[in-house]
Amino acid sequence: MSKPVLTEAEVKQLEVGSPCYVLKGTLITALARELAASRQNEIIECGNIDELGGLKSTNRRIALGADHGGYALKEQLKVFLKDAGYQVLDCGAHNQEAVDYPDLALKVAVAVKTGQALLGIMVDGVGTGSCMVANKVPGIRAAHCYDRLTARNSREHNDANVLTLGGQVLQLDQATLIVSTWLNTSFAGGRHQRRVSKIDQTEQQFLKDTVAAVAGDCSCAL
């Protein structure tokens, strides 16, 4: 049985910066390896077909959520994402009945945090509140974006993994332009990695301080 082969043409079909999953033992052409390195498409070997399918699926899965103020736009973005070849993990809401945006934003953030989805998109009325909620989850870097510049910057400079949008302030064409830009922009690394690492360090420091404070306050009455 012949071994699978990864060619330059297949690497070209990947988004810049996204992983390239192959079965262990796949023959990788020199041009494919060179192109993958130049486009930051890390080649990752999988032990079997099931593992390969699971990783490929997650790599194209977007956690999508909204409150009642963002529901209509969420439903339109769901169609847009599926047409673009993404899988959508719909975190709710599932109708326009009033709900609390923190509950839905948390679902999106946790889906990304736990690896159920590669990235997350949350839509509420304006987008600010959901951004605040998502950023309370360790490991989440949520960005409230309202144009192509903020979308590109949040990914290229800040390695944002959750996007929040305002369903009451954006038209569909504006929202799809932002989403498309955000999804197709890769983290630049370099000097930006140093700064993102400082974000992570700040988060970890406050987590440690909180644990220490809680431990110091604990006492047992006999």
Hey, is 220 helix, strand or coil? coil
- Name the amino acid, one letter, at 37: A
Phi, psi angles (nearest 5°) of residue 27: -80, 125
| Given 68, 94, 144, 157, the catalytic residue | 157
Is 144 designated active site?
Answer: no
Hey, what long-range contacts does 136-144 have (CB within 8 A, 24 or more apart)?
136/109, 137/106, 137/109, 137/110, 137/113, 138/113, 138/203, 138/207, 139/113, 139/203, 140/109, 140/112, 140/113, 141/196, 141/199, 142/109
Instruction: Please state whether beta strands 142-144 and 20-23 pair in parallel, antiparallel, or not at all (unpaired).
Output: unpaired
**Alpha helices, DSSP H, located in the chain:** 8-12, 30-38, 49-59, 71-83, 101-113, 128-134, 148-156, 172-183, 191-217
Q: Which residues are catalytic?
A: 157
